Amino acid sequence: MNRDYPASAGRSAGLKTRFRDFFGKHFHAGRGGRAKLAISTSFFARVVTTAVSFVILPITVRYLGNEGYGLMATITAVVGWLQFTNMGIGLGLQNALTEETAKANVTAQKELVSTAIFSLAGIGILLVIAGLIVFPHVEWQRVFPPTTSRFTAEIPWTVLVVFLGFVSTVVLGFIGPIYAARLELHVANIQTLVTSLLTLLGTFIAVHNRWGLFGVVLCTIGVTAVMQ
Residues 157-199: pLDDT tens digits? 999 999 998 898 889 889 989 999 988 999 999 999 999 999 9
Name the more confident of 92 and 27. Answer: 92
Give the whole-angstrom CA distance, residue 121 versus residue 170. 8
The alpha carbon of 54 is separated from its chain's Cα centroid by a whole number of angstroms, namely 17
| pLDDT at 51 (0 to 100) | 95
Give the whole-angstrom CA distance, residue 46 versus residue 83. 22
Q: Give the predicted TM-score (pTM) of the model.
A: 0.82
Instruction: Convert the pLDDT of each residue in 203-227 to its tens digit.
Output: 999 999 999 999 999 988 888 888 8
User: To the nearest whole percent, how much of the chain has pLDDT over 70?
Assistant: 84
Give the whole-angstrom CA distance, residue 218 versus residue 224. 9
Long-range contacts of 56-59 (CB under 8 A, 24+ apart): 56/199, 56/200, 56/203, 56/220, 59/203, 59/204, 59/207
Give the whole-angstrom CA distance, residue 121 versus residue 157. 23
Q: To 10 degrees, what angle do helices 155-171 and 31-80 make?
A: 150
| pLDDT at 225 (0 to 100) | 81
Instruction: Convert the pLDDT of each residue in 72-89 to its tens digit.
Output: 999 988 877 766 556 688
Query: Nearest 5°: CA angle at 45, between 40 and 50?
Result: 130
| pLDDT at 83 (0 to 100) | 62
Long-range contacts of 110-119 (CB under 8 A, 24+ apart): 113/174, 113/178, 116/89, 116/90, 116/92, 116/173, 116/174, 116/177, 117/174, 119/89
Instruction: Convert the pLDDT of each residue in 110-151 to its tens digit.
Output: 999 999 999 999 999 999 999 999 999 999 999 999 988 999
